Structure 1
């Protein structure tokens, strides 16, 4: 291969820019021409493809979001859209594509690979919901954003002796809620993977107040339900003044942590190696701090498994 392109797709994640930087610089180091695709798969179909140089990725490793921008595309899901995307790449002599994103983005990469165009995926999503890797790019930064916010909320919760519900991202995966709950010493964590009886939440709150506890923090993953509705139920049932904070998209932004920058750099460089070795339809990941690779088709067929030992520990420490 002499020419490789890179794009970001789906929701943005802190560390995407660090991964783009690694792809560009490792590629140039290996004597390749690297092209950046703007606006994801939609931009690919529209021919928004430009050659990138070393300076194209200067001073971006510390920036959140993605300099290549991102967009969702219904047209790309069609055979015609995918054929058009391949045509645009071949028009410039590009022979491989690196896709940064989550499972939806990987589905697109797999479709192109099945049509004969080599692709490699880099897992970038704050949800940490991709099998085959211990961590995804962006998760650590989002986690630290939640932890910082929850620490500040705890200060005011203590001052006013209130219960606070903090709703965090995680439509189908509870990693952010569970890890932040454990890191913040929350009384309860409510996640999609575990059907937590409402009565248990109330019992913990009452037990805490009975021993003199003045405030409580409950972390709720958005996929389970509304934080506002949960707050109303708690106030009505437990008789405790309750406030709700929905963190929303603040969790996706901000400077990536050192951990995310290093992970993104390692995965970006590994993706170049895979394409140069003739391996396609693969996803790079990290397991036990070692770089790994898996077939995207296998990854998409597996469920995301949350580390339930952390959930058990959470319960043991929140007595």
Structure 2
């Protein structure tokens, strides 16, 4: 076991956005519990803003699909990381890239530990027949377990949050000065089975627009930007910020929200990092898989009707939509969403 006084742990987690965001509360808990501990996170350069301001947490940006591509590239990354400075290696990803990188550290005798993703449990939860429908360990706890295996056990208390970040003049000018509460809305996700239908999004926005709210729309990609622009043009209280700010600026804006409405996607995780109340909508996935935003109460997670769609969750990531489950998201009524938002914002 390394001495906490001299310990420096390398954390490997290359993607995806929500999964990288979920490392933050665990790293905050670690630095609180072990005042001498140094941590370096290696991930995509884009994700660096997640870790700004966390004491004794450093960041190394690595483009593993270009500069550090393939086995030779990963060995180059290994050398660039200066392996002699680390006393232990935490693989929080457990994919081929991270395993190859980890193997180089093992060859030099470094202490290592890998995340147990619970693949067998998740398979039992997502299979169509003989489904074992029970809540699994959260991803946050799975990350914490890796550090426990390295000799640094840590307890997650729910208060491991980032402070609000300063809004620059560009953001403040774009959002405006009205004395309204700020509601973030991120209606899209990576897979169709996790997206709220457009006509239901429209119903939610139509009702929200009647209230003294600033509704801030988040998304990414040209198609999403166009759809969000159409909503912003239709409803006077809506503003679309997709593509308008840097990722660092977007995180600062999110930190000032009064609430966030999101799908099972990265935006919900980002808001939760700052203690923002997050209402999430779940289609063919389910919170039982362990991917709920950090510190959010169960009533904030609104799921599709499992009486109508009993095979939910159909996959861990929402990429599998069985025949007949295309309308799972339709079972989440706008009234249910609006009621929960009202309880939070009022």
Could you say which TM-score interval applies, normalised by the shorter chain?
A: 0.3 to 0.5
The two structures have a TM-score, normalised by structure 1, of 0.40
* Higher RCO (C-alpha 8 Å, min separation 6): 1
Normalised by the length of structure 2, the TM-score is: 0.38
